[in-house]
């Protein structure tokens, strides 16, 4: 049986199932246009083919996984959703993304009782069954063009830049561009409210305190060098001005 035959059969079956479900349980809803049904059929078909051969992940698999699993919260371009606290992840470094997905899966990140945001993400990554899945989806997200956060954020930028240059630049770089060797991610473009929440989480040990979280442990040292919560706020305000992405 050729690939195109498999695809053809798959789409017809999926379309049928989807249409029947719509008719039964969502009778009052109008049916989505044919084009979105086709996309749905192609995606689900793609994912089921992929699941059958999960040893061989590729960039295309990453795109399919992203479309079915991640865009609901992170948006179709990976731009994030500030209302639900899902960060902008487009164009982040692939090894950093892979490590975070593994950390959520393994319970190294997102397990603290107070971490409601992390818990959401832990539930979502349960769909990724293997390292190959995580690498594929991370590579796809890394390939997306970076998007600048649009938030305005009031802070004392003088204090922010002083603290940043004294504490953060040694690991994250003078423009917060990141340092791959150290595992420190690029920070500009990420929503400031998310950044502030993360630094606060590192300070309290909600993130980064797990014994297997080596890079998180490094960051905890940095976060705890800031004198107080006001300085956390100011440093984030300063990072928010270091835009390296064209709006």
Which residues here bind ligand HEC, judged by CB under 6 A?
A: 69-70, 72-74, 84-87, 89, 97, 99-101, 117-118, 120-121, 124-125, 128, 137, 141, 167-168, 170-172, 182-185, 187, 190, 195, 197-199, 215-216, 218-219, 221-223, 226, 235
User: Residue 227 and residue 236: Cα distance in Å, rounded?
Assistant: 14
Of the pair 41, 223, the CB lying nearest ligand HEC is at 223
> How would DSSP label each residue in 22-82?
HHHH-TTSPPPPHHHHHHHHHHHHHHHHHHHTTT---HHHHHHHHHHHTHHHH-TTS--BT
**Which residue minimizes CB distance to ligand HEC?**
222
Helix spans in the chain (H): 3-25, 34-52, 59-69, 71-74, 94-106, 116-125, 131-143, 157-163, 169-172, 192-204, 214-223, 229-239
* CB contact at 8 A, 96 and 190: no
Q: Classify residue 173 by its DSSP letter.
A: -
Of the pair 35, 181, the CB lying nearest ligand HEC is at 181
Of the pair 8, 107, the CB lying nearest ligand HEC is at 107
Of the pair 41, 125, the CB lying nearest ligand HEC is at 125
Cα 28 to Cα 23, 35, 36, 116, 164: the distances in Å are: 9, 20, 18, 34, 55
User: Residue 154 and residue 228: Cα distance in Å, rounded?
Assistant: 17
Minimum CB separation of residue 49 from ligand HEC in Å reads 18
Burial-class residue 211 by CB neighbours within 10 Å (0-12, 13-18, 19+): exposed
Minimum CB separation of residue 210 from ligand HEC in Å reads 10
Q: In angstroms, how far is CA 8 from the centroid of its own chain?
A: 33
Of the pair 45, 236, the CB lying nearest ligand HEC is at 236
Of the pair 45, 189, the CB lying nearest ligand HEC is at 189
């Amino acid at each position: 049986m050729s690939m195109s035959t498999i695809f053809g059969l798959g789409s017809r079956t999926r379309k049928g199932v989807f249409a029947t479900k719509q008719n039964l349980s969502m009778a009052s809803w109008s049916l989505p246009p044919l084009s979105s049904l086709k996309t749905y059929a192609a995606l689900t078909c793609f994912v089921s083919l992929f699941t059958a051969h999960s040893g061989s992940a590729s960039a295309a698999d990453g795109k399919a996984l992203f479309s079915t699993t991640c865009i609901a919260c992170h948006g179709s371009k990976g731009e994030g959703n500030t209302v639900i606290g899902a960060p902008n992840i487009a164009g982040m470094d692939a090894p950093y993304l892979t490590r975070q997905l593994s950390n959520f899966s393994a319970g190294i990140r997102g397990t603290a009782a107070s971490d409601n945001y992390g818990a959401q993400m832990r539930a979502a990554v349960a769909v990724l069954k293997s390292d190959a899945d995580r690498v594929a989806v991370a590579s796809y997200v890394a390939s997306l063009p970076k998007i600048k956060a649009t938030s305005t954020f009031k802070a004392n930028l003088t204090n922010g830049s002083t603290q940043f240059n004294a504490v953060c630049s040694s690991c994250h770089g003078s423009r917060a561009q990141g340092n791959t060797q150290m595992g420190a991610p690029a920070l500009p473009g990420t929503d400031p409210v998310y950044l502030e929440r993360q630094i606060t989480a590192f300070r309290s040990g909600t993130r980064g305190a797990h014994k297997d979280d080596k890079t998180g442990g490094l960051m905890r040292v940095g976060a705890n060098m800031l004198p107080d919560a006001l300085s956390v706020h100011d440093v984030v305000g300063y990072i928010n001005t270091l835009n390296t992405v064209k709006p």
